[in-house]
Amino acid sequence: MTPQAPRATLVPMRSRENHQPDQGPPGSRGFSLDGRAWPVRPLAPGLYLVATPIGNLADVTLRALETLAAADLIACEDTRVTKKLLDRYGIATPLTPYHDHNAAAARPKILARLRDGAALALVSDAGTPLVSDPGYRLVRAAHEQGTPVTAVPGPSAVLAALAVAGLPTDRFFFEGFLPTKDAARRARIAELARIPATLVLFESGPRIADALAALADGLGDRPAAVCRELTKLHEEVRRDGLAALARDYAAGRETRGEFVLVVAPPAAPAATPEDVDALLRQALATQTLKDAVGAVAAATGEPRGAVYRRALALAKETR
């Protein structure tokens, strides 16, 4: 395993009496927090994947601030969006755009900087890089040329929505955005219907009502949650069946902002008597009666007593 590159180290500096941030010696790097300046030491060369707030600028880790302040360059989707975060914390690291439309041209230049020994940070407009953005190609190329890649974890809209939705979280599937055209969207939802896991999707405000209606039509009336403007002032989480949510948003509910949809997994089909018998015969061939009954009851959700009675009947049939 490649040793993890050392991270930047905080070195506190005393603030001035008027509580204005002390920027330290000329040319020093750092960030400001609550009126206090925190210079940082240089980062080891490599590519750093830095998670940034998904809405509330206070949702940033100290390690993220250290890394952004100590990096030689920050590659970001939209320099205007990232500059708001940097300005909030007094970070002066230069920015370079890296997004879907310029990635092919920008990637070789970034990789060259990395080969020359630079420490570069990669951020998305919000949340964790590489989730619904082109960053994975840059990470893959960095690995291929032997550049160390380090994750600086933090906010994630996917995990935030899962946490507040009140739906199963032991297994989930992240879909991202559904196709925009109706036929392609219906086809994709038909594929999603077979996935035995909670679904997490991104959606835009103008398309939210149509997306909910299509999901209700293709998945049935599953329990779901619509999470709007997570971590922001007008955060809203609505929980209901897909059909009711679709009607609600079609009727004119607020659609401004960013949306994350969380949809419950499909209900497990009820086991038929034939299914139970087949599983019992298979289990009884290698297990004790008690163990076979326990295994089949757990697999099918059938009452243990009913499975036990059926197992006794099958055992008698084979004598």
Residue 272's pLDDT is what? 86
Residue 262's pLDDT is what? 98
Give the residue among 262, 187, 260 at the shortest CA–CA distance from 217.
187
Mean of all residue pLDDT scores within the chain: 89
Residue 319's pLDDT is what? 62
In the chain, which residues have pLDDT < 50? 1-26
Residue 13's pLDDT is what? 37
Q: What share of the chain is helix, strand, coil (3-state, %, to 5)?
A: 40, 20, 40
Buried b (16+ CB within 10 A) or exposed e, 224-258: bbbbbbbbeeeeebebeebbebbbebeeeeeeebb
Q: What are the E-state strand segments in 205-307?
A: 223-228, 236-241, 258-263
**CA angle, corner 134, sides to 128 and 138, nearest 5?**
95
8 Å CB contact between 91 and 76: no
Encoding tokens for residue 281?
A: 């015969």
79 Cβ contact list (under 8 Å, min separation 6): 95, 96, 97
8 Å CB contact between 199 and 189: no
Residue 24's pLDDT is what? 42
- The pTM of this model reads 0.76
Encoding tokens for residue 231?
A: 């971590």
Give the residue among 89, 98, 57 at the shortest CA–CA distance from 70.
89
SS3 120: strand
